C-alpha cells in the first residue's frame, strides 16, 4: 500500500468538507467555518467590512479548491518519488500554520473572541496530527 496516497486521499476529503463549508455555510462552527469567530458576526454590522470578510473567506475556499485539484492530479499521475516529495511539501506547507496563524488564533482564543474556548488548542493539535500523518506516510512508504 502506498501510504502517501492514503494520507493525501484523507486530506482531500477533509479539505473538500472545509471548502463546502466556507463557500456555502460560512456561519457554521464546523469544518473551520467562520461561526467560531465572534468577529464574523460583528462584521455583519458593517456591510463593507462583512463584504471584505466574505470575500476573503471565499478566496481561502478558492485557494483550497485549487490546491485540492492539484493534489488530486498528483494522486492519480505522480510516481512514487513525486508523491514522496509531495508529502514532504505538504508537511512543510501545513506547518506554516504555526508561524503566523497559530499565534493569532491563540491570541483571539485568550481574549474570548472564539467559541468554543480553547478552539486554538484543538486546531493546533489537528494541524500537528496532519503533519505527523504526512511524515509517517513518508516513512512507511520508504520502508515498504
Bridge partner residues of 37 (DSSP): 114
Secondary structure E strands in 9-83: none
104 sits in which H/E element: helix 102-110
Nine-digit cell string for 113: 473572541
Give the range of the structural domain holding residue 56, as residue numbers without chain letter.
Answer: 3-143
Distance CA 17, CA 24 (A): 11
**Count of the separate structural domains present in the chain:** 1
Distance CA 8, CA 31 (A): 18
| Model-wide pTM > 0.95 | no
Tell me the pLDDT of the chain (144 aa) as tens digits: 699 999 999 999 999 999 999 999 999 998 889 999 999 999 999 999 999 999 999 999 999 999 999 999 999 999 999 999 999 999 999 999 999 999 999 999 999 999 999 999 999 999 999 999 999 999 999 998
b or e along 72-101 (b: 16 or more beta carbons within 10 Å of the residue's beta carbon)?
Answer: eebbeebeeeebbebbeebbeebeebeeee
Amino acid at each position: 500500500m502506498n501510504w502517501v496516497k492514503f494520507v493525501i486521499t484523507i486530506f482531500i476529503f477533509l479539505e473538500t468538507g472545509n471548502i463546502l463549508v466556507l463557500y456555502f455555510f460560512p456561519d457554521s462552527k464546523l469544518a473551520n467555518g467562520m461561526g467560531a469567530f465572534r468577529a464574523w458576526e460583528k462584521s455583519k454590522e458593517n456591510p463593507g467590512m462583512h463584504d471584505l470578510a466574505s470575500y476573503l473567506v471565499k478566496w481561502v475556499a478558492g485557494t483550497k479548491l485549487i490546491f485540492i485539484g492539484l493534489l488530486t492530479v498528483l494522486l492519480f499521475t505522480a510516481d512514487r518519488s513525486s508523491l514522496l516529495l509531495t508529502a514532504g511539501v505538504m508537511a512543510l506547507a501545513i506547518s506554516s500554520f504555526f508561524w503566523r496563524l497559530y499565534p493569532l488564533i491563540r491570541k483571539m482564543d485568550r481574549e474570548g473572541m472564539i467559541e468554543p474556548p480553547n478552539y486554538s488548542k484543538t486546531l493546533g493539535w489537528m494541524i500537528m496530527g496532519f503533519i505527523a500523518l504526512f511524515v509517517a506516510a513518508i516513512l512507511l512508504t520508504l520502508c515498504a
